């Protein structure tokens, strides 16, 4: 912006310039107009009282906050029209604290608007770049410095400097190692890995905490299971169940479309991992007529009658299926781990 277009060239009554040929000239600042409180002492007094009133209301509300904290029974429930049945204590605390904070803010704003000085103070803006001679001076200093350091001439120093600068960030990368041990093969295996053909592992019903027989699982039913030996009181129960959880469904054998899946099951009882292969949500919205299982997080849909094929959504793999059979006493058992890792994909995932 050229100097003559700046407001101070015209004073605060800049409008006259617009008349002389330049219709887009800066009109400058309008004349200062006094507020009602500036000219009327009674109005100023009234505003002062209003501001003080708000601060006093805030004080009262804070006292009310403390009083309701002490006085109101935490279990008391009251009916308040648009909210319904609410905790009296929560309502009183929220209301009084809200009023206390609001009144301070509103009082401060009202004070600033009515009573504090409102004279406009223009802060001038200048061109960002420096003068030409200043710039020439800086460039000269830089080139002198560069020449004196010999940076361009002593190439060995330059190259080793670049090398050391490039390597320094590696120490940060090494520090990342402190984030914890590497996962090793933990992602590839679940708690079912201890099961073998010779020593099968019974499936435990999550509801009853007891092993199940094949005839307990009805067609159209849904049952959740965990491996034997995993107890809710175990310290790492949540970590283990996040991989081991099973959902058991029974589908009439003629409705099962995938032969491999039928082989892995037992008389139509199929044991699928409950962990979605997208980002690992527990997935068990099972529709017993369509045999679809839906993940509530991102709507991945699996067809459990067709080897848990993904029929919709972002999941990349079918749900892993556990091979089950029955032991001599007729209880459902697993004879090994899942054939592929359960849960979401990861870099080193083999299948």
Partner 1 sequence: MKKLSARRRHPLAALVVLLLALAATGGLYAAFAPAEKAQADTSAQSLAIDEGKKLFAVGCSSCHGLNGQGSSDGPSLVGVGSAAVDFQVGTGRMPAQQPGAQVPKKKVIYTQPEIDQLAAFVASLGPGPVTPTEEQYKSTNPDDVAAGGELFRTNCSQCHNFAGKGGALTQGKYAPSLEGVDAKHIYEAMQTGPQNMPAFPDTTMPEEQKRQIVAFVRHTNEEPSPGGLALGSLGPVTEGLFGWIFGLGALIAIAIWVAAHTTKAKKS
User: In the complex, which residues of this chain contact partner 1 (CB under 8 A)?
Assistant: 30, 33, 35, 77, 82-87, 90-91, 109, 113, 118, 120, 205-208, 212, 215-218, 220-224, 249, 282-290, 292, 294, 296, 299, 301, 312
In angstroms, give the least distance from the CB of 242 to partner 1. Answer: 14
Question: Which is closer to partner 1, CB of 35 or CB of 158?
Answer: 35
C-alpha 222/C-alpha 285 separation (Å) is 10
In angstroms, give the least distance from the CB of 158 to partner 1. Answer: 54
In angstroms, give the least distance from the CB of 8 to partner 1. Answer: 19
In angstroms, give the least distance from the CB of 232 to partner 1. Answer: 10
Structure token pair of residue 287: 């529709």
Question: Which is closer to partner 1, CB of 142 or CB of 312?
Answer: 312
Per DSSP bridges, beta strands 77-80 and 309-312 are unpaired
C-alpha 135/C-alpha 119 separation (Å) is 38
In angstroms, give the least distance from the CB of 248 to partner 1. Answer: 8
C-alpha 120/C-alpha 13 separation (Å) is 14
Structure token pair of residue 28: 């400058």
In sequence order, which ranges of 6-131 are alpha helices (DSSP H)?
15-19, 36-39, 41-71, 88-114
Q: Residue 175: in which H helix or E strand, if any?
A: helix 155-175
Question: Which is closer to partner 1, CB of 186 or CB of 210?
Answer: 210
- Please say whether the beta carbons of 293 and 247 come within 8 A: yes
C-alpha 154/C-alpha 36 separation (Å) is 74
Question: Which is closer to partner 1, CB of 171 or CB of 207?
Answer: 207
Residue 150's region, left for phi above 0, alpha for psi from -120 to 50, else beta, is: left
In angstroms, give the least distance from the CB of 97 to partner 1. Answer: 14
C-alpha 159/C-alpha 161 separation (Å) is 5
In angstroms, give the least distance from the CB of 10 to partner 1. Answer: 19
Residue with tokens 């000219």: 39
């Amino acid at each position: 912006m050229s100097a003559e277009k700046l407001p101070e060239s015209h004073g605060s009554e800049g409008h006259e310039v617009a008349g002389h040929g330049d219709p887009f000239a800066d009109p400058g600042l309008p004349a200062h107009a006094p507020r009602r409180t500036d000219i009327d002492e009674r109005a100023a007094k009234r505003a002062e009282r209003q501001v003080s009133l708000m601060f006093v209301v805030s004080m009262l509300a804070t006292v009310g906050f403390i009083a309701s904290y002490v006085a109101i029974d935490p279990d008391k429930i009251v009916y308040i029209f648009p909210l319904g049945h609410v905790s009296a204590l929560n309502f009183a605390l929220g209301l009084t604290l809200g009023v206390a904070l609001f009144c301070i803010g509103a009082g401060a704003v009202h004070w600033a608007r009515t009573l504090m000085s409102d004279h406009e103070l223009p802060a001038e803006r200048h061109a960002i770049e420096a003068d030409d001679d200043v710039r020439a001076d800086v460039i000269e200093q830089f080139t002198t410095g560069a020449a004196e350091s010999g940076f361009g001439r002593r190439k060995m120093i330059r190259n080793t400097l670049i090398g050391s600068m490039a390597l320094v960030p590696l120490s940060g990368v090494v520090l990342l190692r402190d984030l914890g041990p590497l996962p090793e093969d933990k992602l590839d295996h679940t708690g079912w890995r201890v099961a073998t053909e010779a020593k099968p592992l019974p499936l435990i019903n999550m509801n009853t905490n007891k092993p199940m027989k094949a005839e307990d699982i009805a067609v159209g039913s849904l049952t959740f299971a965990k491996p034997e030996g995993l107890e809710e009181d175990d310290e790492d129960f949540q970590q283990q169940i996040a991989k081991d959880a099973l959902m058991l469904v029974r589908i009439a054998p003629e409705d099962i479309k995938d032969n491999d899946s039928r082989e892995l099951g037992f008389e139509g009882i199929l044991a699928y991992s409950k962990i979605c292969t997208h980002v690992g949500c527990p997935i068990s919205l099972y529709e017993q007529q369509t045999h679809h299982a839906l993940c509530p997080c991102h709507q991945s849909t699996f067809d459990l009658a067709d080897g848990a094929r993904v029929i919709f959504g972002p999941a990349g793999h079918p749900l892993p299926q556990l091979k089950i059979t029955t032991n001599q006493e007729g209880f459902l058992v697993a004879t090994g781990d899942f054939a592929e890792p359960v849960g979401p994909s990861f870099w080193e995932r083999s299948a």
